[in-house]
Every structure is written in C-alpha cells, then in structure tokens.
C-alpha cells in the first residue's frame, strides 16, 4: 500500500489503545495538524480508526482567578476576624463593600462565623473554618487536574458564583485497525521523500533515484479564505465601469455638505419634512458652511420666493440663507449633481457618481443608515422620459437584468418623476431600485441651464440584492453581516 511518510510515521506509533492527536504529535515530532491529516488518510485506507470527542473542562473567570490567588472573600474576612469578634460596620470600613457583602452570606452558610446582635450592632465571631471543597476545587483547576476528578457539587457552586465556567474542546482519538496491524507487522520503512522537485534538482540530475512524495489532489483540505474585494466594492467598480462604457464622466464631492447643495438648489422648500432631523443627520461642529456663491444664492432665493423668471409661483416664502448654510451628511448624491450643474450648464453633458449617502431611516431588511447611490444625469436638447427609460434598460441590461418596471412618483425637483423597480430573483417581489425624473425649470434656471436634464439616483445595494439574491441588506455590511455569505461570493476578475 502506498503511504506517505507522515502516514507511515503515524501508523508506526499507533497501537490498540487510543491515543490523542497531541500525544502522537509529541511522539512523532509532527505538527498536530499533520497528524490529524495523516490519521484521516489512514482511516480512509482502513488502516486506522478515528473518533472525535468533546472534552469537558473547567476554566476560571477573572474573578475566579483573583480568588484562587488571594482567597475567597469569606476566607479573607474570616481570617481577619479577631477572636472576640467585630462589628459588621467595622468590617465595612476595612474592606470593600462588595467583598463584605459576598463574604457575609457565605460565612453564614459555611458556618465560619456566628452572627450576634449587640446594642443594635451585628457582631461576627469567627468559628472553625476548615478548608472547603470549593477552595480545593479552585486550586485543582489552577493545577489543571482532570475534569473528572473535580467535586461536582463544588463545581456547581463555583459556577453559580460565576467563578468557574465549563469549556469544551474537541479531541481526536486514534487507534490502529486490524488491517493497520497487518501492514505494521509487515514492517514500515521510513525512507526520505522529496516533497518538491526544484529546478536545481533537475539541472544537477540529483532527482534520480530519489523517492517522491505522492500528493492526493482530491484529498479534503482546510478551506482557505484569501483576501478579496468586498461584494459592494466589486459592485461599485462594475457600475463605474459600466457607466464609463456608456460615455459618462465621474463626479466627485464632499460627503458633508451644505443644505444649499443637498436641498435648496433642488428646489426643496425649507420646511420640507425630508429636511428635519427625522430624516437627515446634521453636523454639530462646524454647524455651517463658511461661504456660498453669492450670485447663485440670489437666484435660488428668488426662485424659492416667487419662481423668478420660470413662470412658476415658487414656494411663496422668505428664503433663509442660514438654513441653506447648515452642514449635513448628504442624504443623496444629487448634491454632487447640483455642484456640477453649477459649473457645466451647456449641452451635451453626462455625469455619474457611485458614492455613499446617509439617511436617518429605521433599520430593517432593506434599509441601513447609509447606502451607496448611483447618481447620474444627462443634459441635452429634446430629452424625454423615453430617453430616461431607455437609459435604465441599457444600464440594467449590462447586469443581465432585462425586466424593469417604472412607476410615476413625486419629487420637488423633477417633473415628470418615476421610480424604477426590479424583481428579486428569490422572493419574486418587485423592489424599488431607484428614483428619477426630468429636472424642473425651477431647479435648472438658477444654473442657467436652457435645455433638458434627466437624472436619477439608484441604490447599489438593491441592485446587488437582485444580482446575488440575498434578502437582507444587513447581510452585506454592519455588525450583523453574514460572513459565510460574504466569503462565498465569487471574486470577479476585472482588468
Ligand atoms: N435624489 C433622489 C433620491 O435620493 C434620486 C433622484 C435623483 C431623483 C435625480 C430624481 C433625479 O431618491
């Protein structure tokens, strides 16, 4: 039978009585992992019998360690009691309150002290205090005595006091089989084996006459989880590539921004519910942006007040610059769109970003306090909702998603507006993947844009949900993330 050197080394040490992995490791000089592997291979060939057992042990808690070292509180107090006794009040002056409280209960229970009332005081008088089973057990645990030899009642008491806790460790027991005995009886030769053929061995010819180690390429091995990109990072990269392929340029800008860019430039009225702390996170310090562009401020405040030259009536209120200056964590990347429209107001133009946004949502299956938004806009003459729908069909087609649905909706800054829905592959439910529309004149006029702009904000996490079939966004990131899922996502190679 063809045995590797490790299998031979292990087989040679096996007997009728079981031995643990660590014992065989010590006897052969192999690492415990190598013994486990060799034993599994021997078992496969019918030469060894392998059995796993959970070994129960006991360990001390931090408090348990302290008492093992300094004595249980009742022992410490008992030893400090003078022969004639001392009052509880005096003890409380000399020892920490916690120690006295724990100790008195046990002194009473163990009969180590008598409690007497004298002039309204409780007096503790020391009694004989032979070493107790729990003290002996604490010491036995420190000395690593076998779990079986420990006093069960003492273990129970110490566990209840949170001084000791049970531990479980897996131990592999290996013994030889009848077939193994026969192989062993025939004699096991330990010859040196070459595990790796090197260029030097080939060049010098020294490989000749050497015994080579055989590898079982089908043998089960420990799963390795190499480093790789997180699924969301892969998604971000793929989306960026897709949009660049579609001819878009990328926008960049701050995560913390003035409400001016997040809200006011989008013709969002200053008393809009989305602008309260229920929805957006504000910044404590600094509270305000230092400066806003004056000309744009003048035009925006007019549009909000009476619509300016757009023919709109505006919101009919006095616009407040201090509200616009407030800093917030951006709730959408349409703040970037606003910043870019201020600089690029001539057609044709198209931009995108894939960036983090923050909302004060209630966390559930489909909501976190932050997510990645795929923002984009196209500026040209004669754009219509059809162009917008076509752009989404084209975009999602890149990801193999060929069915999307649209539904009319409302945004203060777009008209018409529509939501985009995709179908979850596992639940079959339609989930909202984004929101979009044609920017209103009230939004475009202050920038001096004189043509059409269609725009959108899509959720990267929801797109990933459809692509990978997970049902809970919390699987992906945050404290509840599903490590097994993240590990099992295949890495995609991209140039
Ligand atoms: N800002 C919108 C959101 O966060 C998305 C959007 C962007 C809608 C641009 C229309 C135009 O949901």
Please state the rounded mean pLDDT for residues 378-387.
Answer: 97
Closest residue by CA, ligand 1 atom 7 = 456
Band (471; pLDDT cuts 50, 70, 90): confident
Over residues 280-287, the mean pLDDT reads 95
CA dist 255 and 336 (Å) reads 9
Which atom of ligand 1 lies at the shortest distance from residue 377's CA? 9
CA distances from 104 to 25, 34, 100, 336, 494 (A): 50, 54, 6, 68, 70
The pLDDT of residue 494 is above 70: no
Nearest 5°: the CA angle 273, 275, 281 is 125
**340 CA distance to ligand 1 centroid (A)?**
15
Q: How does DSSP classify residue 115?
A: E
Across all residues in the chain, what is the average pLDDT?
93
Q: What's the mean pLDDT in 469-487?
A: 88
Mean pLDDT is lowest, of 105-119, 151-165, 184-198, 427-441, for 184-198
Local confidence band at 310 (pLDDT 50, 70, 90 cut-offs): very high
Which pLDDT belongs to residue 495? 59
Residue 491 binned pLDDT confidence (cut-offs 50, 70, 90)? confident
Which of 264, 337, 435 is the pocket-test mutation for ligand 1 (most atoms within 8 Å of CB)?
435
Say if CB 279 and CB 273 are below 8 A apart: yes
Q: What pLDDT is recorded for position 207?
A: 92
Testing ligand 1's pocket by substitution, the residue of 357, 408, 455, 462 carrying the most ligand atoms inside 8 A of its CB is: 455
Report how far residue 210's alpha carbon sits from residue 190's, in angstroms, rounded to the nearest whole number: 13
Residue-wise pLDDT for 140-150, tens only, equals 999 989 888 99
Please enumerate in sequence order all residues whose Cβ is within 8 A of that of 201, keeping only pairs 6 or more positions apart, or say none: 194, 207, 210
In the beta sheet, which residues pair with residue 457? 375, 435
Q: What is the pLDDT of residue 478?
A: 82
Q: Calculate mean pLDDT across residues 423-440.
A: 93
CA of 265 from ligand 1 middle (Å) equals: 13
Q: How many angstroms separate the Cα of 319 from the Cα of each of 263, 298, 299, 322, 364?
A: 12, 10, 11, 9, 36
Q: Is 348 helix (H, G, I), strand (E, B) or coil?
A: coil
Which residues sit opposite 115 in a β-bridge? 124
Residue 54: strand pairing partners: 170
Q: What is the pLDDT of residues 204-221, one digit of tens each?
A: 999 998 888 777 788 788
Which DSSP helix (H) or strand (E) runs through 55?
strand 48-60
CA–centroid distance, residue 331 to ligand 1 (Å): 10
Three-state DSSP class for residue 490 = coil
Report the C-alpha gap between 494 and 484 in whole angstroms.
23
pLDDT for residue 2:
79
Query: Beta strand pairing status for 452-459 and 349-358?
Result: unpaired
Q: What is the pLDDT of residues 49-98, one digit of tens each?
A: 999 989 899 999 999 999 999 999 999 999 999 999 999 999 999 999 88
- Phi/psi at 337 (nearest 5 deg)? -55, -45
| Residue 265: C-alpha distances to residues 289, 296, 343, 459, 462 (Å) | 15, 9, 13, 22, 27
How far apart CA 399 and CA 354 sit, in angstroms, is 16
Q: What residue ranges line ligand 1, CB within 6 angstroms?
A: 332, 334, 411, 414, 435-437, 455-457
Tens digits of residue pLDDT in 389-407: 999 999 999 999 999 999 9
Task: Please state the atom number of ligand 1 nearest to the C-alpha of residue 332.
Answer: 4
- How many other C-beta atoms lie within 10 A of the C-beta of residue 495? 3
Distance 53 CA to ligand 1 centre (A): 58
Q: Ligand 1 centroid to 419 CA: how many Å?
A: 9
Distance 181 CA to ligand 1 centre (A): 75
Is residue 236's pLDDT more than 80? Answer: yes
Report the relative pairing of strands 349-358 and 249-250 from DSSP bridges: parallel
Q: What is the pLDDT of residue 3?
A: 86
Structure tokens at 481: 């993330």
The pTM of this model reads 0.62
Cα–ligand 1 centroid distance for 385 (angstroms): 15
8 A C-beta contact, residue 465 and residue 477? no
pLDDT above 70: percentage of residues in the chain: 99
DSSP designation for 122:
E
What does the pLDDT read at residue 45? Answer: 94
Q: pLDDT band for 384, please (50, 70, 90 cuts).
A: very high
Least Cα distance to 323 among 292, 295, 360, 296 occurs for: 292
pLDDT at 65: 95
Of 35-39, 153-157, 190-194, least confident by mean pLDDT is 190-194
- Checking if the pLDDT of 409 tops 90, the result is yes
Q: Quickly state the pLDDT bin for 253 (edges 50, 70, 90).
A: very high
Of 456, 459, 460, the one to substitute when testing ligand 1's pocket (max ligand atoms within 8 A of C-beta) is 456
For residue 134, the model assigns a pLDDT of 94
| Ligand 1 atom 5: residue of nearest CA | 457
Residue 425 has pLDDT above 70, yes or no: yes
Q: Residue 219 has what pLDDT?
A: 78
Closest CA to 461 of 436, 481, 490: 481
Ligand 1 center from residue 252 Cα (angstroms): 17
Q: What is the DSSP letter of 479?
A: T
Mean pLDDT of 30-55: 93
**What angle, rounded to 10 degrees, do the helices at 178-185 and 5-13 form?**
100
Q: Which domains does the chain have, with CATH numbers?
A: 5-54+168-204 (1.10.10.10), 62-162 (1.10.10), 233-488 (3.30.930.10)
CA torsion sign, 22 to 28 to 31 to 32? Answer: negative
CA distances from 331 to 259, 261, 296 (A): 10, 11, 21
The mean pLDDT of 196-200, rounded to a whole number, is 92
Q: What pLDDT shows up at residue 453?
A: 98
Determine which helix (DSSP H) or strand (DSSP E) holds 421, and give its type and residue range: strand 414-423
Residue with the bigger pLDDT between 457 and 4: it is 457
CA 1 to chain CA centroid, Å, is 48
Q: Measured at the alpha carbon of residue 237, what is the angle toward residues 235 and 238, in degrees to the nearest 5?
A: 65
Residue nearest ligand 1's atom 10 by CA: 436
For residue 310, give both structure tokens: 């757009």
Of these ranges, 186-200, 267-281, 449-463, the one predicted with the greatest mean pLDDT is 449-463
């Amino acid at each position: 039978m063809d045995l590797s050197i490790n299998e031979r080394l292990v087989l040679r040490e096996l007997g009728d009585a079981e031995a643990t992995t660590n014992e065989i490791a010590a006897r052969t000089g192999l690492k415990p992992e190598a013994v486990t592997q060799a034993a599994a291979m021997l078992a496969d060939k019918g030469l060894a019998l392998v059995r796993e057992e959970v070994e129960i042990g006991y360990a001390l808690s931090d408090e348990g360690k302290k008492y093992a070292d300094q004595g249980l509180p009742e022992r410490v107090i008992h030893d400090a009691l003078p022969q004639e006794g001392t009052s509880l009040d005096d003890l409380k002056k000399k020892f920490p309150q916690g120690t006295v409280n724990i100790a008195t209960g046990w002194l009473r229970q163990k009969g180590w002290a008598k409690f007497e009332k004298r002039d309204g005081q409780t007096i503790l008088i020391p009694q004989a205090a032979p070493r107790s089973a729990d003290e002996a057990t604490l010491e036995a645990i420190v000395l690593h005595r076998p779990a079986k030899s420990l006093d069960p009642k003492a273990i129970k008491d110490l566990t209840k006091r949170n001084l000791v806790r049970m531990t479980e460790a897996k131990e592999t027991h290996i013994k030889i089989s009848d077939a193994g005995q026969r192989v062993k009886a025939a004699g096991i030769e330990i010859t040196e084996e070459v595990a790796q053929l090197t260029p030097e061995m080939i060049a010098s010819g020294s490989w000749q006459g050497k015994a080579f180690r055989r590898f079982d390429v089908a043998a089960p091995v420990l799963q390795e989880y190499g480093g790789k990109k997180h699924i969301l990072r892969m998604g971000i990269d793929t989306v960026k590539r897709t949009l660049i392929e579609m001819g878009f340029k990328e926008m960049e800008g701050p995560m913390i921004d003035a409400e001016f860019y997040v809200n006011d430039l989008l013709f969002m009225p200053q008393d809009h519910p989305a602008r309260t702390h229920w929805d957006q996170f504000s910044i404590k310090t600094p509270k305000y942006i230092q400066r806003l562009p004056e000309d744009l401020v003048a035009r925006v405040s007019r549009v909000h007040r009476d619509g300016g030259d757009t023919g709109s009536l505006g919101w009919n209120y006095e616009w407040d610059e201090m509200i616009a200056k407030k800093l917030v964590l951006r709730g959408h990347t349409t703040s970037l769109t606003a910043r870019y429209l201020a600089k690029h107001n001539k057609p044709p133009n198209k931009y995108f970003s894939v960036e983090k946004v923050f909302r004060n949502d209630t966390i559930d299956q489909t909501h976190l306090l932050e997510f990645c938004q795929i923002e984009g806009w196209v500026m040209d003459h004669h754009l219509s909702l059809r162009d917008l729908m076509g752009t989404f069909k084209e975009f999602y087609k890149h990801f193999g998603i060929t069915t999307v649905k649209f539904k009319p909706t409302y945004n203060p800054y777009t008209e018409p507006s529509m939501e985009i829905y995709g179908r979850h592959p596992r639940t079959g439910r339609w989930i909202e993947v984004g929101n979009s529309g044609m920017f209103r004149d009230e939004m475009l006029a202050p920038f001096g844009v004189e043509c059409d702009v269609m725009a959108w904000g899509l959720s990267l996490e929801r797109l990933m949900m459809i692509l990978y079939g997970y049902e809970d966004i919390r699987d992906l990131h945050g404290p509840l993330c599903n490590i097994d899922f993240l590990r099992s996502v295949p890495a995609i190679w991209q140039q």
